[in-house]
Amino acid sequence: MKIKKTLLLLLSLCLIICSLNGCSKKYDAKSVTGFHFDTVVKITIYDTDMNLETKENLLDECLNLCDYYESLLSRTKENSDIYNINHANGKAVNVSTETYQLIKEALQYHELSNGLIDPTIAVISDLWAFTSNTPKVPDAQKIDTSLSLVDASQIALTESTNSYTIQLADPSMKLDLGFIAKGYIADKLKEYLMSQNVTSALIDLGGNLLTIGKKPDGTAFNIGIQKPFALMNEPIITLSVNNSSVVTSGVYERYFEENGIKYHHLLNANTGYPENNNLLSVTILSQSSMEGDALSTTCYLLGLDEGMNLINKTDGVEAIFITTDYTLHYSDGLNVQ
């Protein structure tokens, strides 16, 4: 059995970004790297009129924000909002405003995807155990039984003055916001940095890329999109972006092989199995990283035709779909040279 480690791919993507952007001292850039949300986080500030001490303080605060949001949204961190909901045995749980709002957003994408995305997918994800050292195809009967616990309509949201509660109807149900949380946090980091007058920066949350402005010389950030299943540092295409989010969901990010068949982590909530639809990846370009994060998964699960139709009807969003023959399919408004 071959196991593809996510960290290796994330480091590969970071190498692509650095090589394309020329990660050097010519802009007196300052970066910080950490490990949050089970992935590598790297944030770089390029502003030339800001001293290094100020940049270091801002970057330290960014890592503090990562800690804060992880303490809310991680389903594995004890006493986080999501952990508490998942271990409440069906009782209502008081949560933060941020958690409440993000769950509401997640439910919107559940509807948009026609139920293919479901924030209660955690019980199925646990069966597949993609993050373990020895993942394997779950027993079919266990998947069928667990599907009864995947039902977003059983999430009860209650809001009153300065009070927010979430309740799962079945004590065995569990939430997983993995398809939207990193994008949400990237947006929050950008919001903070811009409030501190940062005008040129790159936020990388495990491949969820979000740029602030342009590089100090006025040129765009060049973002390399990883060629699926290729060797390290091999982009299939390079995008020039300013003040934008670039998020990719792909079958090569986390997968394992069993009996010669690849099983990836993009699960169809209606079947409990990885979606097999002739796609290798979907990349979303948008202003909001949360939107890009959720849409990349949504569009992958919808497939090329339905996914592309959705993007072409969505204002301010573009996409690149890569099919299994490595053909790149572009949304109507994307001009790639």
pLDDT, tens digit (0-9, with 9 covering 90-100), for 208-233: 999 999 999 999 999 999 999 997 77
Question: Which helix (H) or strand (E) element contains residue 191?
Answer: helix 181-195
At 286 the pLDDT is 98
Indicate whether 17 pLDDT > 60.
Answer: no
d(CA 200, CA 186): 15
User: What order do you get walking across the sheet with 163-168 strand by strand?
Assistant: 93-94, 163-168, 155-160
3-class secondary-structure state, position 298: helix
Average pLDDT, the chain: 91
% of the chain with per-residue pLDDT over 90? 86
pTM of the model: 0.90
The string of DSSP codes covering 67-91 is: HHHHHHH-SSSTTSHHHHHHTSTT-
At 28 the pLDDT is 84
Indicate whether 144 pLDDT > 90.
Answer: yes
Rg (CA), the chain: 20
d(CA 211, CA 245): 6
Structure-token pair, residue 10:
């994330």
- CATH (residue range 1-337): 3.10.520.10
At 20 the pLDDT is 46
Question: Which helix (H) or strand (E) element contains residue 165?
Answer: strand 163-168
Query: With contact defined as beta carbons under 8 Å apart, do 21 and 268 qualify?
Result: no
d(CA 305, CA 317): 16
At 35 the pLDDT is 93
Indicate whether 55 pLDDT > 60.
Answer: yes
d(CA 137, CA 152): 24
Q: What is the DSSP letter of 287?
A: S
Task: Return the closest-CA partner of residue 185 out of 288, 337, 276.
Answer: 288
Structure-token pair, residue 307:
């996914």
At 87 the pLDDT is 98
At 38 the pLDDT is 85
* Angle formed at CA 304 by CA 298 and CA 308, multiple of 5 degrees: 75
Neighbours of 282 (CB within 10 A): 28
Once rounded to an integer, what is the mean pLDDT over residues 253-269? Answer: 95
In terms of Cβ atoms closer than 10 Å to its own Cβ (0-12, 13-18, 19+), residue 337 is exposed
Task: Return the closest-CA partner of residue 277 out of 108, 113, 106, 121.
Answer: 113
71: confidence class by pLDDT, cuts 50, 70, 90: very high
Structure-token pair, residue 123:
């019980």
Query: With contact defined as beta carbons under 8 Å apart, do 299 and 310 qualify?
Result: yes
Please state the domain extents for the chain.
Answer: 1-337
3-class secondary-structure state, position 146: helix
